[in-house]
Each structure stands twice: as C-alpha cells, then as structure tokens.
C-alpha cells in the first residue's frame, strides 16, 4: 500500500499505519486502537521524499495487550508498538529508537546547503 503522506511524530506513542486486517494482525481486546498480532511481525517500509530520494525502514509490531500487561500498568515506551491509521503513516516514537533522526526547518539552510523542510535518518 502506498500513502500520499507520512510524518515523524515523537509525540505519538506508536507507529500508526493501515488497519489490523490489512497488516495481518488483529485489534487488541484491552488496548483499543493498537495491534495485537499473535507473535511479533517484522515489516519493511520505504519512504520516498519529494526529491525522489528513498530509504527503507525496518520495524516490528508486537502484541500491545502483552506489552502493556507485562509492565503492570506502569507507564512505559516501547519500540514495537503499532496502531491503526488508514489515512497516513505516522512514524511515532518507536521510529526514533536506535537511529539518528535529522529535521530541517522550512526555509533554513542545513548541512551542504540543503534547505528545509526535510527529515532524514
């Protein structure tokens, strides 16, 4: 499936994309709006910028009910939490784990004279 837009969003607690049936998962019983596959699913997504440059992102989605229950209800952040968003691909906080992420501010020159807006990893 191709999205017309994706965005990075460190304020989202999960990676939000598609819907459970499309990604081969099921919706959670307890954690509504999140994915609950029977075992962790690995994915590869390709981001393509307006300049045609593309990069692949490997990510995993685990069972949200299990993740939340394993922490006895304590607040925690997970690198493999996913949820429903059929309208856009929201690269939430899990996207930031284990990689450097760079953001260029609109109209401002960055390294090598590249002018924002952009995001790179």
DSSP string, 51-105: TS-EEEEEEEE--HHHHHHHTTT-----SS-EE-EEEEEEE-GGGGTTS--EEEP
All residue ranges of the chain with pLDDT < 70 are: 1, 73, 75
DSSP state of 38: S
Which pLDDT score, from 0 to 100, does residue 120 have?
84
Q: What is the enclosing helix (H) or strand (E) of 48?
A: strand 41-48
pLDDT digits (tens, 9 = 90+) for 90-102: 999 999 999 999 8
Q: Is 88 exposed, middle or buried (0-12, 13-18, 19+ CB in 10 A)?
A: middle
Q: What is the Cα–Cα distance from 95 to 81, expressed in whole angstroms?
A: 10
Domain boundaries of the chain, sorted by first residue: 6-95
């Amino acid at each position: 499936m191709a999205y017309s837009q994706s965005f990075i969003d460190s304020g989202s607690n999960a990676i939000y994309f598609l819907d459970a049936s499309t990604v081969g998962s099921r919706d959670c019983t307890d954690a509504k709006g999140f994915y609950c596959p029977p075992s962790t699913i690995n994915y590869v997504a390709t981001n393509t910028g307006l300049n045609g440059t593309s990069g692949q992102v490997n990510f995993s989605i685990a069972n949200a009910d299990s993740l939340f229950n394993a922490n006895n209800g304590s607040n925690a952040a997970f690198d493999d939490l996913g949820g429903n968003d059929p309208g856009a691909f929201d690269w939430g906080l899990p996207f930031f784990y284990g990689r450097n992420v760079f953001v260029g501010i609109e109209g401002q020159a960055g390294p090598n004279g590249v002018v924002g807006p952009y995001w790179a990893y």
